[in-house]
């Protein structure tokens, strides 16, 4: 499959094991890991950030093997999911940073193009999440509100 805006082909990468298995050295139980996930979510950490913290500080290589569900599913069960999905929030923050840059550098044509591409990604992703039901149908991307996220 080609990349979104450059028509380049994908890069090869490492492959995950076919069946995730519980690590034999792990001393935490499933309930303890869920409690840690809930604690980190209350500290405004996103699912990917929680996964990194669990890997680096707690030595949990794969929560899906231990809990039989993903971190985002654990957050949904505990009603701790953020208002907007993590990838959409990251794109909105990126667009806000680009807009701030363009206020001072109005002639930067490459950045203007980057802003167009980022806004189109936001539109496409928000359309997907509206269909999926993760975002309210009435939600709309607003540049002034995005400045508050940065």
Are residues 92 and 122 located together in one domain of the fold? Answer: yes
**Burial state string for 75-88 with b = 16 or more CB within 10 A and e = fewer than 16:** beeeeebeebbeeb
Q: Answer yes or no: is 12 within a domain.
A: no
DSSP notation for 79-100: T---SS-HHHHHHHHHHHHHHH
Residues 143 and 92 in one domain: yes
Residue 125 and residue 90 share a domain: yes
Q: For residues 96 and 132, state if they share a domain.
A: yes
pLDDT score, position 25 = 85
According to DSSP, the residues that pair with 9 across neighbouring strands are 2
Domain boundary among 54, 77, 100: 77
What's the CA gap between 20 and 23, in Å, rounded?
9
- The reported pTM is 0.77
In a domain, 17, yes or no: no
Which portions of the chain are predicted below pLDDT 70?
A: 1-2, 11, 150
pLDDT in tens, 75-115: 999 999 888 999 999 999 999 999 999 999 999 999 999 99
One domain for residues 40 and 65:
yes
Note whether 138 and 94 are same-domain residues.
yes
Whole-angstrom distance, CA of residue 83 vs CA of residue 150: 16
Per-residue confidence (pLDDT) for residue 1, from 0 to 100: 53
Q: Which domain holds residue 120?
A: 86-149
Same-domain pairing of 49 and 92: no
Q: How many domains does the chain have?
A: 2
Tell me, yes or no, whether 9 lies in a domain.
Answer: no
Residues 135 and 92 in one domain: yes
Do the beta carbons of residue 99 and residue 115 sit within 8 Å? yes
Give CA torsion, residues 39, 44, 48, 50, to 10 deg.
-20
């Amino acid at each position: 499959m080609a990349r979104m805006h450059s028509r380049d082909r994908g890069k090869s990468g490492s492959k995950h094991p076919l069946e995730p298995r519980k690590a034999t050295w792990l001393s935490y139980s499933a309930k303890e890991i869920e409690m840690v996930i809930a604690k980190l979510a209350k500290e405004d950490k996103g699912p990917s950030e929680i996964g990194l913290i669990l890997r680096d500080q707690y030595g949990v290589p794969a929560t899906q093997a231990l809990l039989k569900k993903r971190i985002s599913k654990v957050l949904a069960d505990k009603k701790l999911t953020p208002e907007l999905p993590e990838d959409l929030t990251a794109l909105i923050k990126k667009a806000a940073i680009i807009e701030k840059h363009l206020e001072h550098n109005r002639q930067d044509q490459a950045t203007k193009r980057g802003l167009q591409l980022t806004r189109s990604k936001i539109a496409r992703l928000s359309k997907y999440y509206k269909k999926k039901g993760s975002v309210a149908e009435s939600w709309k991307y607003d540049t002034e509100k995005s400045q508050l996220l940065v």
